[in-house]
Structure 1
Amino acid sequence: MDILKRENESDKFTKIETESTTIPTGSGRPDSLVRRMKDSFKQSNLHVISEDLENSEQTEQEKIQWKLASQPYQKVLSQRHLTMIAIGGTLGTGLFIGLGYSLASGPAALLIGFLLVGTSMFCVVQSAAELSCQFPVSGSYATHVSRFIDESIGFTVATNYALAWLISFPSELIGCSLTISYWNQTVNPAVWVAIFYVFIMVLNLFGVRGFAETEFALSIIKVIAIFIFIIIGIVLIAGGGPNSTGYIGTKYWHDPGAFAKPVFKNLCNTFVSAAFSFGGSELVLLTSTESKNISAISRAAKGTFWRIAIFYITTVVIIGCLVPYNDSRLLSGSTSEDISASPFVIALSNTGSMGQKVSNFMNVVILVAVVSVCNSCVYASSRLIQALGASGQLPSICSYMDRKGRPLVGIGISGAFGLLGFLVASKKEDEVFTWLFALCSISSFFTWFCICMSQVRFRMALKAQGRSKDEIAYKSMLGIYGGILGCILNALLVAGEIYVSAAPVGSPSSAEAFFEYCLSIPIMIVVYVAHRIYRRDWKNWYIKKSDIDLDTGCSVENLELFKAQKEAEKQHIASKPFYYKIYRFWC
């Protein structure tokens, strides 16, 4: 499709949607607040776009991509929102508490595991950023898989990824209630679940701005808390602090040691915890359709490097120096939100007399982190559900968007899953959530693999169709090699996880233990085959490079203007001091 045609199509769709979202004011007088609120929940007239597309000469897949690129989300997210979401948006219990379960494998195993998963995550975010900047569509990387690999694989990725967020929501609500119960155990935890449930749902009804402003504030708190811990940790390692026993250094790396035995199996055991800690780092790329400027997405993606290097790797090193891996408290927590198992609490209480103050401080941080993740769960799952509805892979009602750009049906489905949080009052709560998480346990690695593969396929399609890399709005810092490396690492991580699930550390092999971590594998196979049967397509197992659509919904509409803008930007950066050039390369 030539550039002129794409520009005209884009203008046409923009005009239709602008007209369709105008709220009538009756006799010319401003409507009341109640009336405007009521009207804002009415559906955007997306059927106008759909009817226009039906009469066009585009292929079925091109029509789907136009729909995904033309969803009426409000573009209100600025650079500050995206930067904080990228840096601290999903810092949660995986880091603050779950880290303890990995540390029990040894500080060196913990560090290597986090380095492997962190490198994989950086490749994933860079690959996803390249695709999201080039094709800012509803559902982002989840729908890119359908475009660049195969529709059935894309459906499998999107549904499993949405399910992971949907299941996490009630789990994190329970985390909120248990965190509050640390201070007050006289109140039924179901009461706290109800309070936080209502708060999160109302927050998401404020639209993307409510989500973004809340995440901005909560992320700042989490980032400050991590910096405080890093500074205190360095002081304690050097022998400072109250009641210090002297210089610690790498003492615990020698006694009890750097690795718990068996070494390789314990190393593989760190992958799940690391994936849980890093999980959601790619969330910022889902915001591409709601960002004021696409370039803000690329800069936020670069911030992932600092998040991995500072907040995860540095923290892991400090924790490994302050807490021996054989400390019984690491695995003593009765729940995944029990701060008694937090290596942060253990580290600070081991070398000083801070005691209760440390626990109270960490409990506040953990509560902030859990509320933040709850917010992200509803945001991410609702956008993915809306994208699946808009692309025809779920019932069309799921694509419902109101005039304020809120995917109300998606939010409603997320809210329905959130009601599972009231299982906190049941004695079977742990067992239920163990198997709920088993449904999507290993799917994170599969999702990350497919994101990287999509970027590789995008680059291969450019070459096969004789297109220049100069057309790419944002080039991954690692190029196509980052996508390839991400595919290899995630394949190895899946293999390691299957191995340790089949032969668990310190316990005999069992079918129950295996499926607790790998149930998502047969689930994904069933979803994939079922979608194939629904499509009735057994001939085309993947999209050929020559058939991949590189134009529909592309953010680069005028190639010559785009090149001129990129050249002007390069000249601007070149005119700046050396330190600014380094800053812009990494930020």
Structure 2
Amino acid sequence: MEEDKKSKDWSPESSSHPSAYEADMHVVHRTFTSRLADSFRRDPNASVTRSASFSAADGKGYDAEAAAQATALSPLLRKLKGRHLQMIAIGGSIGTGLFVGSGKALAYGGPASLLLAFTLTGCMMYCTVQALGELAVLFPVAGSFASYSTRFLVSQAPVTLFHRPKSNSFQDPAWGFAMGWNYALNWLTVLPLEIVSASITVDYWVWVMPGGARYLINGEEQVQNIGLNAAWVSIFLVLIVLINFFGVKGYGEAEFVFSIVKVTAVIGYILLGVLINIMGGVDSAGRPNASYMGFRLWHHPGAFHNGFKGLCSTFVTAAFAFAGTELVGLAAAETENPRKALPTAIKQVFWRITLFYIVSLLIVGTLVPYDDPRLLNGKNSADAKASPFVISIQNAGVEVLPSVMNCVIMISVLSVGNSAIYGSSRTLAALAEQRQAPAFLAYIDRKGRPLYAIIIASVLGLLAYLAATHKQQDAFNWMLALSGLSSIFTWGSICLAHIRFRHAWILQGHTLDELAFRSPVGVIGSWIGLTFNILVLIAQFWTGFSPVGWQKMTVNQRIVDFFQAYLAAPLVVIMYVGYKLLMKTKVLKARDMDLFTGKREFNVRGLVEEERADRMWWPRWKKLYKFFC
């Protein structure tokens, strides 16, 4: 009875202990906070990285099989879906290289050189991405092409159809080491570079606003926007870092949205450009008129400018504009079904090259003369005042759309910055898993985030605060120099790895029917891509040493311009030669390649044959559509 009385008299207010509801809420609260804390703890599967070793001093040599297993078994989460890959492929590299950099290329080479350079570079990129797709579908490993450079350009114990290479065999990861760090440094410098660019795009509205504060530097009028730039740097940096801390799904969703905006803008500009060309353009003095344009500007002032050197200069700009295309292959390790999603995404490159680059630049070349002084007024690759897209809209007398295009340029810059943290962090983690970088960078938490690599990339983003100083332009130029030729080396290495892989695949008794995805351009396409990349390196050396208008430059200006144009090349050579001399590595033979470790699916031949048999019954229109899409 007394117990019943006590139970009746009990109330939340009279109890010194929490009620059942309060206790449950405490558990819920504790569970949420503990889950948040646990998400940053190391994934237990990440212990596979401890098996890889590259120390020559231990007398064991480079354990390539362990390194390959480390990248293949990386605990990165496979959260990317087909729609993410498709939008990354379509709009991933659409950025300032197209929207703004094309203006400088137009001024140096003329509309015909601009179109020719982007078309040939696009053909090279199509071949390169197809080769990457074939490798990434078969080996969707962390680090992708950096790992392929190590794997297919190394020396190891003999391999046969029934014999895997033994561990601790001496190998040559020197080129993979150089390519991995080259790619990582590229993105590490691109992050502050793009944040600086994003803050500079804000200056566009300061210029167009009446009464904007300005000051003089070396006799040139500049925007007084230093404090505002620092504020925008903070906003952009925090936004990009937060997106990447949401993991690969956050990156995928952000790029999905960014790419939709960029693709919509380019399609809208193409339609607008056609209307402007038909209904009215500009006269020889740059004044708007209402006459049909056609290809009038190809006749006066002309289709080409500065001859062959002008054409070579546009090749360099085209290569910069296509940078980031290879991220599709890097994302393969975090894709749910790379064998199904990756080939479809790879084929989207055709449409991006055709529609977004070739068609849009063809229209630009008919609306903006190459001698328009505004094309060279921009001091960097994100200056909307020098964008031929913006200039062509201004010439048509449309007042609102230039600001809209500047917003698109800003979104493009943020998209590249977002990709910078993703690309650098995944590459650093893969290098660490192969023991080609400090081991702590291989730390991957339970949400699949390479945590320390993301932190390192984010911290280097603080260099963007140089935008809040009067050395803004110098900082921009030298960061751009570090990343200038990086993509050329990356693309050439992809093509070379594919050539070596195909040779070893046939030599070791395999057939092409065993490949889940086969590059439609094959080895010939990879040879074309490799050759073209070498030619671009030669052209860049020539235009860097003797740029257009070098007669008017001082010796010091020419030296600075050369190093800003070619700085990435000596860095790659130093990393490769230094590693090779230190590790005393050897060159790989095709018969010795390991074609087993890290394959996502070993028995795909039957599945592929079923799919090919099913395609035999497709109507012709569907076969044509699936070939391109």
Secondary structure of 1:91's aligned partner = coil
| Residue identity matched to 2:259 | S
Tell me which residue corresponds to 2:405. Answer: 362
Q: For 1:52-80, what per-residue CA distance to the aligned partner results, in whole angstroms no more than 9, with x for missing partners?
A: 889xx998211110110001111111111
Tell me which residue corresponds to 1:251. Answer: 296
Tell me which residue corresponds to 2:22. Answer: none
Secondary structure of 2:457's aligned partner = helix
- Cα distance in 2, alignment partners of residues 500 and 51 from structure 1: 46
- Cα distance in 2, alignment partners of residues 419 and 28 from structure 1: 39
Shift of 1:569: 1.4
Secondary structure of 2:97's aligned partner = helix
- Cα distance in 1, alignment partners of residues 110 and 503 from structure 2: 41
Shift of 1:106: 0.5
| Residue identity matched to 2:605 | K
Q: Do the aligned residues in 1 keep the contact of 2:40 with 2:446 (CA within 8 Å)? A: yes
Tell me which residue corresponds to 2:570. Answer: 522
Secondary structure of 2:242's aligned partner = helix
CA gap of 1:240–1:575, structure 2 versus 1, over 3 A, is: farther
Tell me which residue corresponds to 1:317. Answer: 362
Q: State percent identity of aligned pairs.
A: 41
- 2:310 counterpart of 1:266: yes
| Residue identity matched to 2:619 | P
Tell me which residue corresponds to 1:535. Answer: 583
- Cα distance in 2, alignment partners of residues 406 and 465 from structure 1: 37
CA gap of 1:548–1:253, structure 2 versus 1, over 3 A, is: same
Name which of 394, 404, 422 aligns with 1:379.
422
- 2:197 counterpart of 1:180: no
Q: For 1:344-397, what per-residue CA distance to the aligned partner results, in whole angstroms no more than 9, with x for missing partners?
A: 0111222x2213x12211111111111111111111110000000000000111
What pairs with 1:233-312 in structure 2 (closer than 5 Å)? 233-239=273-279, 244-261=289-306, 263-294=307-338, 295-312=340-357
For structure 2, list consecutive stretches of 5 or more residues without a partner in the other structure: 1-25, 54-59, 155-172, 207-211, 213-224, 283-287
CA gap of 1:471–1:58, structure 2 versus 1, over 3 A, is: farther
Secondary structure of 2:445's aligned partner = coil
| Residue identity matched to 1:464 | L
Tell me which residue corresponds to 1:583. Answer: 625
Secondary structure of 2:516's aligned partner = coil
- Cα distance in 2, alignment partners of residues 143 and 490 from structure 1: 20
| Residue identity matched to 2:300 | D
Secondary structure of 1:106's aligned partner = helix
Aligned residues: 550
Secondary structure of 2:550's aligned partner = coil
Tell me which residue corresponds to 2:216. Answer: none
| Residue identity matched to 2:567 | L
CA gap of 1:448–1:256, structure 2 versus 1, over 3 A, is: same
CA gap of 1:229–1:567, structure 2 versus 1, over 3 A, is: same
Name which of 189, 196, 200 aligns with 1:167.
189
Q: For 1:408-448, what per-residue CA distance to the aligned partner results, in whole angstroms no more than 9, with x for missing partners?
A: 11101111210000001111122123223323322321211
Q: For 1:445-477, what per-residue CA distance to the aligned partner results, in whole angstroms no more than 9, with x for missing partners?
A: 121111100000000001221211122121112
Shift of 1:513: 2.1
Q: Do the aligned residues in 2 keep the contact of 1:75 with 1:291 (CA within 8 Å)? A: yes
Shift of 1:519: 1.8
Name which of 221, 227, 233 aligns with 1:193.
233
Tell me which residue corresponds to 1:62. Answer: 65
Name which of 110, 132, 148 aligns with 1:128.
132
Q: Do the aligned residues in 1 keep the contact of 2:312 with 2:539 (CA within 8 Å)? A: yes
What pairs with 1:328-347 in structure 2 (closer than 5 Å)? 328-347=373-392
Shift of 1:572: 2.6
- Cα distance in 2, alignment partners of residues 89 and 266 from structure 1: 28
- Cα distance in 2, alignment partners of residues 554 and 165 from structure 1: 27
- Provide TM-score, normalisation by structure 1: 0.90
| Residue identity matched to 2:75 | P
- 2:266 counterpart of 1:226: yes
- Cα distance in 2, alignment partners of residues 267 and 47 from structure 1: 49
Tell me which residue corresponds to 2:88. Answer: 85
Which shifted more, 432-441 or 265-274? Answer: 432-441
For structure 1, list consecutive stretches of 5 or more residues without a partner in the other structure: 1-26
Structure 1 stretches of 4+ with a deviation exceeding 3 A read 27-31, 46-54, 181-187, 240-244
Name which of 593, 597, 608 aligns with 1:552.
597
Q: For 1:318-347, what per-residue CA distance to the aligned partner results, in whole angstroms no more than 9, with x for missing partners?
A: 111111111111001243322110100111
Q: For 1:510-562, what per-residue CA distance to the aligned partner results, in whole angstroms no more than 9, with x for missing partners?
A: 3222212112222111111221133133xx1x21001111000012322xxx2
Tell me which residue corresponds to 1:480. Answer: 523
| Residue identity matched to 1:41 | F
Tell me which residue corresponds to 1:389. Answer: 432
Secondary structure of 1:439's aligned partner = helix
| Residue identity matched to 2:85 | L
What pairs with 1:368-517 in structure 2 (closer than 5 Å)? 368-508=411-551, 510-517=558-565
| Residue identity matched to 2:570 | P
- Cα distance in 2, alignment partners of residues 439 and 346 from structure 1: 29
- Cα distance in 2, alignment partners of residues 176 and 142 from structure 1: 29
- Cα distance in 2, alignment partners of residues 253 and 139 from structure 1: 45
CA gap of 1:210–1:249, structure 2 versus 1, over 3 A, is: same
Q: For 1:23-42, what per-residue CA distance to the aligned partner results, in whole angstroms no more than 9, with x for missing partners?
A: xxxx9989621110100100
| Residue identity matched to 1:574 | M
Shift of 1:298: 1.3
Q: Do the aligned residues in 2 keep the contact of 1:279 with 1:444 (CA within 8 Å)? A: yes
Tell me which residue corresponds to 1:39. Answer: 38
| Residue identity matched to 1:34 | T
Shift of 1:94: 1.0
| Residue identity matched to 2:626 | R
Tell me which residue corresponds to 1:140. Answer: 144
Q: Do the aligned residues in 2 keep the contact of 1:235 with 1:241 (CA within 8 Å)? A: no
